[in-house]
């Protein structure tokens, strides 16, 4: 006999799986990849409904950890340390965005890492790169944040990050950027690193 809680959980799982199948069909994403995510979400829902919610709310320590990841991102970008930047991103991370009115870029962060490797450090003279962390919101094992970057190789960026807590640490799972060219400096290399 199925109790009410199990019945409700099974209904939620069915709705999520059905919705995931529709999204997968529209986006041409393999259903197996999304099914694993739905199963993890179902487990989290079961744990929540069972009362296992300790540690899922925003805490000063979780916000501090996320802020630390974002500061490391800024530092790695400033110094052109692609290897360090790579460690901050989840293996399945996505990076998308637009520079000026150009094409929309959708893909992995790999072009960003390659740009960091091929450009001189943004901290060298002639590249007054600055960045600041804006709003951070942590909800359980997920977080969102905004970084404003000024003069990254001649471009200003507003970056929106999504982070997840995976394998016991915070990782960037997606970055959405919007870049705008600024007045060219004679010593700035051409091309945006995004």
Percent with pLDDT over 90 in the chain: 51
Residue 23 pLDDT more than 80?
Answer: no
Per-residue pLDDT at 130: 93
Strands 130-139 and 89-99, sheet pairing = unpaired
Q: What is the pLDDT, as a whole number, of residue 113?
A: 96
User: How much is the pLDDT for 120?
Assistant: 72
Q: At what angle do helices 4-27 and 31-49 cross, to 10 degrees?
A: 150
Q: Give pLDDT, residue 119.
A: 84
Cα–Cα distance between 86 and 115 in angstroms, integer? 12
- Residue 21: its pLDDT value, please? 41
80, pLDDT greater than 80: yes
Cα–Cα distance for residue pair 109/173, rounded to 1 Å: 10
More confident position, 191 or 29? 191
Which pLDDT value is given to residue 26? 40
- 36-50 pLDDT per residue, tens: 444 444 444 444 444
Q: Give 78's contacts (C-beta < 8 A, 6+ positions apart).
A: 121, 122, 123, 129, 131
Cα(67)–Cα(122) distance, rounded to whole angstroms?
A: 21
């Amino acid at each position: 006999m199925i109790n009410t809680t199990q019945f409700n959980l099974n209904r939620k799982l069915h709705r999520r799986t059905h919705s995931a199948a529709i999204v997968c069909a529209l986006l041409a994403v393999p259903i197996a990849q999304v099914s694993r995510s739905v199963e993890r979400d179902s487990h989290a829902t079961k744990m929540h409904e069972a009362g296992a919610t300790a540690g899922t709310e925003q805490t000063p320590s979780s916000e501090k950890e996320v802020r630390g990841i974002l500061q490391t991102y800024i530092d790695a970008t400033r110094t052109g340390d692609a290897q360090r930047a790579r460690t901050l991103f989840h293996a399945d991370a996505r990076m998308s965005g637009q520079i000026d009115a150009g094409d929309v870029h959708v893909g992995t962060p790999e072009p960003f890492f390659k740009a960091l490797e091929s450009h001189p450090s943004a901290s060298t003279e002639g590249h007054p790169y600055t960045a600041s962390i804006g709003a951070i919101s942590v909800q359980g094992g997920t977080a969102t944040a905004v970084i404003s970057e000024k003069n990254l190789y001649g471009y200003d960026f507003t970056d929106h990050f999504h982070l997840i807590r995976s394998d016991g640490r915070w990782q960037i799972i997606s970055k959405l950027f919007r870049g705008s060219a600024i007045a060219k400096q004679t010593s700035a290399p051409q091309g945006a690193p995004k």
